[in-house]
Chain A
Amino acid sequence: MDIIDALLGEHGALYAALDGVERISGAATSLAEVRAQASLLGAAVQGHSQLEDELLFTVLESRVASAEGVIKSMRRMHADIDDALARLRVLQDVGPARDLLLSVVAMAREHFSAEEEFCFPLADQALAPDVLDRLGAAWAERRGVTIA
């Protein structure tokens, strides 16, 4: 299984989570509700970023010198999302917390789109099929997904 397809699949489920936040966060009337939704979205997005970084980006930057700029840009976007989630955790009012959660959603959408447009095609072209499959197997093991 090619790691690019696995990561695109993750994007599909994450887009559904982003849609969900946009649809239901407006009904949240307390800080606790917004924080609960932020904790779930944060776990999903940050878990995805970490896997992507440790599996795909590390291999890509070690094998393709010209990928450095793209990888740097993607990591900066990961850091920006991390920073926004950290700021959200210490906010004390529901309105600003909801606004920041929706900003995280927008940042994540922009980031996923950039990966789909630049980073994943780069990896697809620059890494051999057996490398992509080996990374896919590592992804499945890390995620606990059974490839029968």
Chain B
Amino acid sequence: MNVVDVLLGEHGAMYSQFDCVERVVPGLDGLQEIRALGALLAAVVQSHSTVEDELLFAALERPLGRASPALVGMRMMHEDIDRGFAELERAEDPGAARDALLGVVGLARQHFLGEEESLFVTARRVLDDETLGRLGAAWAERRGVLQNPIEDWTSAPHGA
């Protein structure tokens, strides 16, 4: 399990949530419901940022350097996204809350595209397969995803 592949998988799941927010939020009139939606999106996006930062970005510090513009730039975008969610929490009317939430979705889309086009490509180039696999195993443990296939799948619960 390659950590870049599973992080791309996380992006895929979040894009569908961004689509949902962009579709639903313009029709919401209540401040609390916009905040409730935003709080759930924040739980997912910020959890992704943390896992990515602590596993992949940390591993890239050795080959690229901690002050690498690529890493600094991506970490700044994580902070921008965090600030967007904080702005949503502070919003005092539905219009400001809608703007903050849609703004954070726009930022996250831009950030994910930047990772897919640049940093993830760099990671595949500068980290060897063993390291990417080890990071993938650490990702699975952090996320609670099972990663060891059963020996004999014919014992699966057919029709259960």
A positions within 8 Å CB-CB of B: 1-2, 5-17, 19-21, 23-24, 28-30, 32-37, 39-41, 43-44, 47-48, 66, 68-70, 72-73, 113-114, 116-122, 124-125, 139-140, 143-148
Contact = CB atoms under 8 A, between A and B. Distances in A.
B36 A118 contact: no
Contact of A6 (B12, B44, B121): B12
Interface stretch (B19-27, B64-72, B78-86): B19-27
A97 to B, nearest CB: 12
A19 B43 contact: yes
Given A145-B116, A146-B113, A146-B116, A10 B13 contact: yes
B19 A148 contact: no
Contacts, number: 189
Contacts of B9: 5-13
A73 B143 contact: no
A147 B106 CA distance: 20
Which of the four size classes fits the interface of chain B?
35 or more
Given A9-B5, A13-B13, A70 B149 contact: no
A143 B109 CA distance: 12
10 contacts: A11-B145, A12-B143, A17-B44, A35-B33, A39-B37, A43-B17, A44-B13, A118-B150, A118-B156, A143-B15
A20 B16 CA distance: 17
B157 interface: yes
Interface of B: 1-2, 5-17, 19-21, 24, 28, 30, 32-37, 39-44, 47-48, 51, 113, 116-118, 120-121, 136, 139-140, 143-147, 149-150, 153-154, 156-160
B61 to A, nearest CB: 22
Contact of A140 (B8, B28, B51, B160): B8
Contacts of B5: 1-2, 5-6, 9
Contacts of A147: 8, 116
A124 B47 CA distance: 28
